[in-house]
């Protein structure tokens, strides 16, 4: 009897100890939430937004396990961002809150078609919109809401409403058109959906009926979707240019298309053309900076990034691009400063934190790297670049199996993920990856042996081929061609050996 009692008490103690960390975390989470809420009540919206961001980072494991708590924090973060004037970022926070509540099986109370805290479409604006071809009342209502949101520059909310409308009338060409164009404009995770919708619109209407907006959306989506199609993108954007050679977006998107394929001189030409059409727009300047970065003329690239920043120093993307240019010319301390400026201007964007990770990791500044990597992962856990840098962080610590899992998550996110594919291919090729100054790096013969369990020549060959198919001028193209030659030699040897074995068996 005594033994049973002792066993029971031991198991009870173990159970309490297992649950104790989350219990304590939940208590301190409530305390931190109360402090941030007090800042909102006092009208200190920017400090409150930063406090909620810190909560997302500090309690990321707890929030990952509890969708309802995650939804509550994201909604509060969105409210603070909205009141602080970061309305675009607030939209994303509210969307994450909605997703978290759904994941927890507790959808948030809907008020006038939107989550509490989200901006609501103006009734007068909604009344301006009716789509005659829509027969379903609910589809019509969601379309009107989406159109009102779009007019008020709430693009993500507009997409959410158009998606709901499509649930009721999925084959309506007019609805597919506006939804596809809006998704292509927003980009990010919506490029694939945009491509699918715009291809349906093209098939339904025929090429002669398509105008510049439809061609632009199709071209843009085909260039950046996970299932990209550069040939179709070029065809669509060429059609837009034929309709109007001076259309700003047609020139800009052509620049982006050639940029992602490594045709840097061509991309620079298109960005120059778009700059002549709209001299005050920063996007052509950034495009020129990116093009000259590809051409390894880093000083000229920095000039363009600097021009853009001077035109709008309150724009976080301008500070971030300028910081990138400074990094490329070796001015790392200045680059760190302007990354921090970008974060201060918009504390909710993962890539600004990742820019600092890209500086700190090669300098083996582990604490600073982890701090900003955790921030990025907490803010945008689905962002493929977060998983890329998490993979680097893990691989540098010999945790190759975990790194491969992170790289695999990132590698499928469209044509922009060439660095991820290269890192992964090197693991499968068992040549490993270089981390100068780090305790673990492929230059050390003993370290390279640790890659052998992951050797998969077919996977390596496929990934190297994919990289060169997307961008033949990729920065590591020479090394890839060297590896491919060896892999082709290996494949030929394997083939001949198999043929000999088959003959011997017969």
Look at strands 110-111 and 114-115 and give their pairing. Answer: antiparallel
Long-range contacts of the stretch 449-454 (C-beta < 8 A, 24+) = 450/398, 450/400, 451/400, 451/427, 454/400, 454/401, 454/404, 454/427, 454/428, 454/430
pLDDT at position 17 is 45
Which domains does the chain show, CATH number per domain? Answer: 33-115 (1.25.40), 417-506 (no CATH)
Q: Provide mean pLDDT across the span 349-362.
A: 95
- Kindly report, residue by residue over 56-87, the tens digit of the pLDDT: 988 888 888 888 999 999 999 989 998 888 87
- Kindly report, residue by residue over 6-34, the tens digit of the pLDDT: 555 555 445 444 444 544 455 688 888 98
pLDDT at position 382 is 86
Q: pLDDT > 70: what percent of the chain?
A: 91
Alpha carbon 102 to chain centroid distance? 22
Q: Name the percent of the chain in helix, strand, coil, to the closest 5.
A: 75, 0, 25
- Kindly report, residue by residue over 222-252, the tens digit of the pLDDT: 999 999 999 999 999 999 999 999 999 999 9
241, 249, 393, 404 from 246: Cα distances, Å: 7, 9, 45, 46
State pTM to two decimals: 0.84
**With 60 as the cut, is the pLDDT of residue 437 above it?**
yes
Per-residue confidence band for 491, with pLDDT thresholds at 50, 70 and 90: confident
**Within 10 A of 68 (CB to CB), how many other CB atoms are there?**
14
Per-residue confidence band for 163, with pLDDT thresholds at 50, 70 and 90: very high
pLDDT at position 465 is 96
Q: Provide mean pLDDT across the span 139-153.
A: 93
């Amino acid at each position: 009897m005594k033994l049973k009692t002792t066993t029971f008490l031991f198991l009870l103690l173990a159970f309490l100890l297992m649950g104790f960390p989350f219990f304590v975390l939940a208590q301190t989470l409530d305390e931190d939430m109360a402090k941030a809420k007090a800042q909102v009540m006092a009208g200190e919206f920017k400090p409150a937004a930063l406090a909620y961001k810190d909560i997302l980072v500090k309690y990321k494991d707890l929030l990952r396990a509890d969708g309802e708590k995650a939804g509550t924090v994201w909604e509060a973060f969105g409210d603070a961002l909205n009141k602080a004037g970061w309305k675009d970022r607030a939209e994303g926070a509210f969307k994450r809150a909605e997703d978290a509540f759904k994941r927890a099986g507790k959808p948030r109370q809907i008020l006038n078609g939107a989550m509490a805290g989200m901006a609501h479409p103006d009734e007068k604006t909604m009344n301006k919109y009716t789509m005659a071809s829509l027969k379903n009342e609910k589809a019509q209502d969601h379309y009107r809401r989406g159109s009102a949101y779009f007019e008020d520059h709430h693009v993500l909310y507009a997409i959410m409403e158009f998606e709901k409308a499509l649930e009721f009338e999925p084959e309506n060409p007019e609805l597919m058109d506006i939804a596809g164009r809006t998704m292509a404009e927003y980009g990010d995770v919506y490029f694939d959906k945009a491509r699918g919708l715009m291809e349906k619109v093209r098939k339904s209407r025929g090429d002669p009926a398509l105008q510049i907006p439809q061609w632009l959306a199709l071209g843009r989506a085909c260039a950046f979707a996970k299932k990209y199609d550069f040939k179709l993108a070029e065809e669509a954007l060429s059609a837009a240019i034929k309709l109007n050679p001076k259309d700003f977006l047609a020139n800009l998107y052509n620049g982006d298309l050639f940029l992602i394929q490594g045709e840097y001189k061509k991309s620079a030409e298109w960005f120059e053309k778009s700059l002549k059409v709209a001299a005050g727009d920063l996007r052509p300047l950034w495009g020129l900076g990116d093009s000259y970065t590809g051409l390894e003329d880093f000083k000229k690239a920095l000039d363009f990034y600097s021009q853009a920043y001077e035109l709008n120093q309150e724009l976080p993307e301008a500070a971030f691009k300028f910081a990138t240019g400074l990094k490329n010319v070796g001015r790392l301390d200045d680059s760190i400063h302007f990354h921090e400026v970008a974060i201060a201007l918009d504390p909710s964007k993962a890539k600004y934190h990742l820019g600092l990770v890209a500086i700190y990791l090669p300098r083996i500044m582990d604490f600073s790297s982890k701090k900003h990597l955790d921030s990025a992962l907490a803010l945008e856990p689905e962002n493929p670049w977060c998983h890329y840098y998490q993979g680097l962080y893990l691989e540098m610590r010999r945790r190759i199996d975990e790194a491969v899992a992170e790289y695999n998550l990132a590698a499928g996110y469209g044509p922009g993920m060439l660095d991820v594919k290269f890192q992964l291919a090197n693991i499968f090729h068992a040549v490993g990856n270089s981390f100068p100054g780090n305790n673990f790096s492929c230059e050390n013969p003993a370290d390279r042996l640790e890659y052998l369990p992951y050797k998969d020549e077919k996977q390596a060959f496929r990934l190297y081929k994919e990289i060169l198919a997307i961008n033949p001028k990729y920065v590591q193209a020479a090394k890839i061609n060297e590896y491919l030659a060896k892999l082709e030699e290996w494949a030929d040897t394997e083939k001949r050996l198999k043929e000999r074995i088959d003959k011997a068996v017969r």
